[in-house]
Amino acid sequence: MTWKVLKHQFSNLKLKTKFLTLFVVSFTLLFIFSIFLFNNSLNNYNKNLYGVLKTTLDLSTNNIEENIEELVASSYDFITDSDIQSYLKTINEDTSYDGYSASIKLLDELSVMLFDTDWVMSIHMVYNNLEQLYMAKDTFKFHQPTIQLISKKCEELEGKILWMDPIIHDSSIILARQIRDIDNLSLHPLGTLMIRIDPEQLIQSMDNENINNHFMMMSDKKIIYNHNDELSYKDISRDMYDDSNYHIKKINNQKYFLALKQSKFSNWYFVNYMLYDEVVKDIILSKNIMFLLYILLIIIMLMLIRWIVLGMIKPIESLTKKMFIVEQGNFHIVPPDALNRLKSGDEIAHLEYDFYIMIDKINDLINENYKKQLDVKRFQFKALQAQINPHFLYNTLDSLFCLAKINQQDTIATMIKSLSNLLRKSISDTSTIVSIEEELTLLHDYINIQKFRYEERLRVDIDVHASIKQSKIPKLTLQPIIENAINYGLERKPIVCQIELYSELNKDSFNIYVKDNGCGMSEEFMEQLSKGTIKPKGSGIGIKNINARIHNLYGTNYGLFFKSVLNEGTTVKIKLPYTFDTESGVV
């Protein structure tokens, strides 16, 4: 949907809908912006929180790794010590008293190293066919398969340190390295040093202020140390290989904030975590309160704007309805005291005030001019009918009629009688509208006169439905049309003039057709005839006058319609509505 289509649809909305739409869009944008600001603030808070946890984690792990680094250095010093190497050589080569004495001395050295730290649980020295000497703070002893496994791995590392996760039935981590003869740099294997480290003692031996109660130490295979059992290995393991500085995870229906760091000595990971919801509960509460206040504000603003908009729109809608009533022709819509009430109102009230003033002026014009317009219309009708020459005198015609009868001139007598009837109905009868039946009677008198003149050259057939004979028609409508058909047809074409007059019934109207076989008319001639630019012959009542009378009485949907073909003839259609005779009640 393009911008132009949206703009067009918006412009077609009602004012009330436009105001509400603008309000909703504005508050929606404000709401989105508020969410953006809140999320941005929350992200900044998370970064600061990570900084705190990371600092704590760094302090803790730095102490741990310093202790481990010291242990690694001590182990190196221990295995490279000349006395230790001499004792091992003696033990490996001599099983006599010298070997036993060397083992006692070696145990003394192991004891010194063991009790030098609190978090070393035992130290084992493996020699000769995987036999071991050890000093321990507990009763733990490596089994032969474990010794064999560790010794083999240390042999593969060629003197490098081996770190091992806690084994079955033991929670200690293991530091192991191969002891090699450094005399003359022969590097001949002398044995294997294995040190068991208690991770809990290692961590608790540090300054407690640097240790968070939610601290974990884990490898890529299992948890080495966990201060409590809130989290498991599977909850954390997938995040150890992520490059993110921190994670917010939902575990056991609770959110945790995690900070991870990898050890520089081994594949260990240190994890510091806390319950996220407890940390941000005040922020979440503030967010929820803000959203509730925002929704409440929206509801209040909607009600307020609706009240304001309805106060603005209601007078406009009322004014629009009154304009529609005026459009239907009803001008009596001004309420009492409306002008006094609206005169001191706002712009919309002034608009309604001006509208009522305009309606009052229109009513005054209608009242002043209505009768004048009726008189003008009546004079127009009489002027149109008065175009027939009124100078024939009935007594002269009566005298001629009697003279024709005395002389037995029946044809002349008939023509004079028809002429007398024609003049009497057209002049003496002041009615402007007559029935179809009366109009046909007048037409018969006119045709009788014309037949006396043209004899066999004129034929007129009349076929009108009886159902419309009582319907009304402007007087002297049919006679001028027949007269024009004779004048423009018969006189210009030396053939028998055939005129047909018939009717056609419709739902709310009827048509009367006058069809002749005369010369026909061109389109230009018909247009001039309709406009009255060509003066008709005979009675002088032109086609334009007939059409004007019908339009004045019934409207422009009714009137005369022409269809003509040059040299073939013309058909005139007279379209009229069904009308009632109020006296007889007949259509």
Segment 336-349 shows an average pLDDT of 66
Q: Which of 76-85, 315-324, 394-403 has the highest mean pLDDT?
A: 76-85
pLDDT, tens digit, 9 for 90 and up, residues 454-478: 888 889 999 999 999 999 999 889 9
Q: H helices within 115-214, ranges in order?
A: 144-157, 199-204
Q: H helices within 328-346, ranges in order?
A: 338-342
Taking phi first (over 0 means left), then psi (-120 to 50 degrees means alpha), and beta for anything else, what does residue 252 get? left
pLDDT, tens digit, 9 for 90 and up, residues 106-157: 999 999 988 888 889 999 999 877 888 899 998 888 888 999 999 999 989 8
At residue 574 the predicted structure's pLDDT band, cuts being 50, 70 and 90, is: very high
More confident residue, 1 or 527: 527
pLDDT, tens digit, 9 for 90 and up, residues 225-284: 777 777 777 777 656 556 556 677 777 778 877 777 778 777 787 887 777 777 677 777
Smallest CA-to-CA distance from 124 within 25, 45, 192 is with 192
pLDDT, tens digit, 9 for 90 and up, residues 32-47: 887 788 777 777 777 7
pLDDT, tens digit, 9 for 90 and up, residues 268-315: 878 877 777 776 777 778 778 887 887 888 788 878 877 877 777 777
- On whether the CB atoms of residues 90 and 99 are closer than 8 A, the answer is yes
More confident residue, 79 or 344: 79
Token pair of 287 as six digits: 């967010």
Amino acid present at 252 = N
Token pair of 79 as six digits: 């295995």
Q: How far apart are CA 360 and CA 352, in angstroms?
A: 12
Q: How far apart are CA 71 and CA 61, in angstroms?
A: 15
pLDDT, tens digit, 9 for 90 and up, residues 498-544: 999 999 999 889 999 999 988 888 888 777 766 666 655 544 456 78
Contacts of 144 (CB under 8 A, 6+ apart): 130
Smallest CA-to-CA distance from 64 within 119, 121, 138, 122 is with 119
Q: What is the pLDDT of residue 244?
A: 59
At residue 206 the predicted structure's pLDDT band, cuts being 50, 70 and 90, is: low
Mean pLDDT of the chain: 78
